[in-house]
Structures are given as C-alpha cells and as structure tokens.
Amino acid sequence: MPLTLSLRVANALETPADLLVLGVWGSAAPREPSAGKDAKPKPKKGLAESLAPLDHRLEGGLAALLEREEFTGKRDQTVVFAGMGRVDFQRVAIIGLGPRAGFGDVEARSFAAKAARIANAEKAKSVTISLPEGLETRARALAEGVELGAYRFTKYLTGDRKPKSELTTVHLIPSGKAGGGAAAKKELELGQGIAAGVLLSRDLSNEPSNVLTPAALATAAEVAGKMHGFKVTVFDFEEIKRRGMHLIQAVGQGSVHEPRFVHMAYIPKQKAQKRLVFVGKGVTFDSGGISIKPAAGMGEMKHDMSGAANVVGLMVSLAALKPKCEVHAIFAAVENMPDGNAYRPGDVWGSLDGKSVEIINTDAEGRLILADALAYARELKPDLLVDNATLTGAMVVALGNTCTGWYANSEAAAREFEGAVKQSGESMWRMPLLDELKEGLKSDVADLKHTGDRWGGAITAALFLREFIGDTKNWVHADIAGPAMSERAAGWWGKGGTGHAVLTFVSLVERASGK
C-alpha cells in the first residue's frame, strides 16, 4: 500500500504525528550561499535557527541535548528523543543534512528515506517531516525516499515477529511560505509511482525460490501489465524450444520448474521518437547446476533474478512517468539445478542466432540465458539496448557490494548511461570491454566457450554477451551482482533486495523521452 503523503505549508509543531523529524543543515555551511566570498561564516556554536521554536517548547532542553550529543548537523548525524508530552509527538528525531552546497534530489531522497527508517524503528504510524529551506521544491525525490525507506519485507513473519504498526501517513512541511499546491501534489504522485516500481523489484527479489518459480515470475509480469496497462507476452517451455532458444532450454531443463520467456511492451500514444529495450537475468534460483556452488551463502542465489525483477519494476515505474518513447522489457526466467536432465560441462548447445557454444561451467548460466534474450531483443532494432544481471562474483570482487559495473559498446551509449547514473545517484562505475581478453572464449569444438579463465571474469562475461547483440550500435551491460541485495540499510536501501538500477533506467527513459 502506498503511503498517504502530503506537502503543504503549515506549522510543523502543530501538525501532530507519532514522530517529528527535523532536517538541519550542517553548521559548517554558510547560511546564505549567495552572501559573497567576503561574508564571514557564522560561528559554529549555537542552535540552528530552524530549531528555535522546538527548543522554546522544550524550555531550552533541545539546545542542551544537542550540545551534549555534539550535534553539528553533519550528514546523517541523528539524535532521537521522546516528546514526553511537551510536544504533540511521541518521538522527535533531528537529522543532520550536511552542507547545503551540493544538496540535490539524491541527498533529499536519502534524507526522506532515513526519516522513514527512523519511523519504522520507533514504531510510528505517522510522521511529520519539517523540511529545511530549499527542500520544498524536491517533492518527487522526497516521495521516492519515504516510500523506499519505509520498505520492509515482512510477508513471512507471523505472531510476535510481525511488526504491529506500520507507517501509513507522512506530512511534509516546508519551513517557509513556499511550496505545496497542485504542482507538489503531482510531483509526490510521480515519486510514489516511480518508487512503486522499485518496491515491486525488491518484493520479487526477496521472494524465496520455492514460491517465485520461473512461471510465477512470468505471472508477476502479467499481473503488473494488467494493472498498469502495458502489453505482456509469455512463451512457455514448448514455445522457447520451438523458437530455438536452446541456451535458455539448456539452463532450464534441469529443473522441474520449466523456463519462461517474457516480453513486455510500453507503446506511447503519440508516435515515439526512440525505442529502448531492457533485458534482465531471471534465474529464480542458482544452485550452480552440475558445477554446484558451495553450501555457504547459496541461499542468496534466490536474488539471482534481480535483473528481471528490475525490468518488471521499470515498466511499473513508467506507468507513472508516461514517457514519449517506446520501451520494451525482456527476460528469460529459469531455475539452474543439478538433475538427471541437467545440462553438463562439455555439452555443446546452439543459440537463438545459430552460434554453437561449448559449456565449461554450468554455474555461468546467466550469460547463456542472456545470450538468447539479447539475440531476441536486437530484432526490435533498439536505439539503446540495456541488459542488467547479477552476472559475476568477479564484479563484486572488483567494485564491492554497493556498486554496479557497466560496459558500453559506443561512446554515445556511454554518455547517455553516464548522464542517467548522475541523475539517479545510484552507485555505478564504467568498466572496459578489453578485446585482448576475447582470446579466452575460443573453443576447439564450438564457435565459442562461455567462460574464460578466472582473471577478468566480469569482463569476459561482458565480451561473451557482446557476441549476441548483432549490429546493435548502442548497448550497455550492467553487472549488478554486488548491489542487487544488501546486508544493511543505507541511503534509500533496506536489507535484502534493493531494486538497484531501476532508478537509473527510469532516468535513461526520461532522457530519451525528452522530459
């Protein structure tokens, strides 16, 4: 259920809720950014002006508390205390925003998410957020933030483990007289609509593999399509085989849960200028297959369909954005299992576009299903083709578990993607498609092997995928293996599936739509 969100000019102290959140600029930041370089910065000591009314209500108690806590307003510094009947709030949280310079939509989103996380931790059903000056114009980012920050995956908790209260209502209160009205309302709705896509992606990612089978993932896409008005086509196993998607067949045939292939399409009312195609890896569980993974941490491989979840989430976000370009989202859903009928190392299988592939390690399954999905996607003649996948452990070794590594086959595609990454604020870093590593994919018995040696494993995976994009001029491959799930809450992430990359894809579409 989306939150009930409002942004209107009022007195925050007279907008009762379970929790009051106040964002405070870091004291190191000059009060007036335009004051000129000769203006002396205000002394660091003392209470921020915006806190004076609350301090007054608490009879000077706030100033004393913040002094004791050494609160300076640096980013993410937080002090939480009880209202104790002196204010119309059970709890009060003061959050440092850091310097005002460089504080944009991304920072506003993080601030709002933090407020929502505190609301959850404090068991608040309602929260009043007092916005410092300047944030009243960032309604969309704030809405994204509270929705994403409030998210928890509690579906399977029962009894005492089930949270008894849930955040339902958020009042955003500007500090000045500006803000609110119909424009703010529209932006809030847009932010919530975009967040809904990210939240769906997280839900799908978090769902255990006994529930989210390939068929269930395809059904989730169909349900989303019905709800949000985009077209969904699903191929069952028979159709996958009939069409010659043998790499998807190879990976999927070791599981009793048969593969699916899904194509979602958003066609705008006006004639579209551009066509974007997104592809995701949908391995609902990756045991490694015959090249089975070690037991430790194998359960995390329920998240191995996060790339597919992201493209479904993206389509839901687009229902709110209504872009002027055409967007397609495609994924293959399979379960990678060891079994009497499983594919094996040493096998040779044919791809949708007629290449023969020697199987080296059945745990490198993602690039195989993506190869067929890319060969299908390229037939749509996209202006930009983007795939995303929890593809390699090597990517996590290279960039850690918060950052996506991405590759582009043209500078035009790279510029677009880089711009979208800047706008979304998601952590992503460009990687090189090193042609000298192509050597590693040479096979003696087939057109190519699907893995090289250990070194540069994330790059050889990308090089393998590139073999299947045909003459597509603008292609981006994003390896989301690290950030697809998180062990802790941070920024606008919670624990578990993050939906990381959906916001960047939304920005990409926005840019292509000319909005």
**Interaction residues for Mn ion, span 167-206 (CB under 5 A):** none
Out of 203, 286, 335, 387, the only residue in the binding site for Zn ion (CB under 5 A) is 286
383 binds, among ligand BES, Mn ion, Zn ion, none (CB under 5 to 8 A by kind): none
- Token couple for 275: 């066509």
Looking at the Cβ atoms of 95 and 373, the one nearer to Mn ion is: 373
Does residue 366 touch Zn ion according to CB under 5 A? yes
Q: Looking at 122, 304, 335, 426, which residue binds Zn ion (CB under 5 A)?
A: 304
Taking the least distance from each CB to ligand BES, the nearer of 441 and 506 is: 441
**End-to-end CA separation in angstroms for the chain:** 28
Question: How near is the Cβ of 390 to Mn ion at its closest, in Å?
Answer: 9
Task: Catalytic residue, from 114, 260, 367, 378: name it.
Answer: 367
| Alpha helix ranges (H) inside 386-456 | 393-399, 411-424
Nearer to ligand BES (CB atom), residue 170 or residue 394? 394
Binding region for Zn ion (CB under 5 A) out of 70-78, 95-103, 301-309, 406-414: 301-309
What is the contact surface with ligand BES in residues (CB under 6 A)? 286, 304, 361, 363-366, 390-394, 396, 451, 457, 481
Least distance to ligand BES from the beta carbon of 465, Å?
13
Closest CB 405 distance from ligand BES, rounded Å: 12
Distance separating alpha carbons of residues 56 and 87, to the nearest angstrom: 11
CB 359 within 8 A of CB 488: no
Tell me if 275 sits within 8 A of 383, measured CB to CB: yes
CB of 420 to ligand BES, least distance (A): 23
Beta-strand pair 485-486/496-497:
antiparallel
Q: What angle do CA 393, 397, 398 make, to 5 degrees?
A: 115
- The reply to whether 387 sits near Zn ion by the rule CB under 5 A is no
**How many CB atoms are closer than 10 A to CB 6?**
16
Distance, CA of 147 to CA of 165 (rounded, Å): 16
DSSP per position, 137-171: G-HHHHHHHHHHHH----TT--GGGS-S----EEE
Backbone CA torsion sign across 440, 445, 449, 453: negative
* Partner that binds at residue 361, options Zn ion, Mn ion, ligand BES, none, CB closer than 5 to 8 Å by kind: ligand BES
CA-wise closest residue to 297 among 401, 148, 211, 450: 401
* Contact letters for Zn ion, residues 404-443 (x by CB under 5 A): ----------------------------------------
226-285: which residues touch Zn ion (CB under 5 A)?
A: 283
| Residue showing the smallest CB distance to Zn ion in the complex | 286
Any bridge partners for residue 483, and if so which? none
Q: How many CB atoms lie within 10 A of CB 225?
A: 23
Structure tokens, 74: 């640096």
Measured from the CB atom, is 281 or 324 closer to ligand BES? 281
For the question of residue 466 being annotated catalytic, the response is: no
The whole-angstrom separation of Cα 311 and Cα 327 is: 10
Q: Which CB sits closer to Mn ion, 117 or 450?
A: 450
Residue with smaller CB distance to ligand BES, 6 or 401: 401
User: At 491, phi and psi to the nearest 5?
Assistant: 55, -125
* Least spacing, CB of residue 458 vs ligand BES, in Å: 8
Q: Does 358 bind Mn ion (CB under 5 A)?
A: no
What residue is closest to ligand BES based on CB?
393
165-173, 177-185, 296-304, 376-384 -> range binding Zn ion (CB under 5 A): 296-304
- Distance CA(279)–CA(46), nearest Å, equals 53
Question: Which residue, 242, 32, 19, is CA-closest to 133?
Answer: 32
CB atoms within 10 A of CB 383: 19
CB 387 within 8 Å of CB 279: yes
- Please, what is the minimum distance in Å from the beta carbon of residue 417 to ligand BES? 21
Residue with smaller CB distance to ligand BES, 336 or 474: 336
- Name, in order, each residue with C-beta under 8 angstroms of 34's C-beta and a sequence gap of 6 or more: none
Complex with Zn ion: residue 12 or 481, whichever CB lies closer: 481
Residue 215: its H or E element: helix 214-228
Closest CB to Zn ion among residues 107, 286: 286
Report if residue 286 touches Mn ion, rule: CB under 5 A: yes
Q: Whole-number minimum distance, CB 462 to ligand BES, in Å?
A: 12
How many residues sit in the footprint of Mn ion (CB under 5 A)?
3
- Give the three-class secondary structure for 466: helix
List 123, 274, 293, 438, catalytic entry: 293
Pairwise CA distance, residues 208 & 199, whole Å: 16
Residue type, 511: R
* Shortest Å, Cβ 288 to Zn ion: 8
- Least distance from C-beta 446 to ligand BES, angstroms? 17
- What letter does residue 40 receive in the DSSP assignment? P
Query: Does residue 479 interact with Mn ion by CB under 5 A?
Result: no
Tell me whether residue 275 is one of the annotated catalytic residues.
Answer: no
Q: Which span (230-238, 286-294, 353-361, 453-461) binds Zn ion, by CB under 5 A? A: 286-294
Residues that bind Zn ion (CB under 5 A): 283, 286, 304, 366
Q: Which residues are catalytic?
A: 293, 367
Residues that bind Mn ion (CB under 5 A): 286, 363, 365
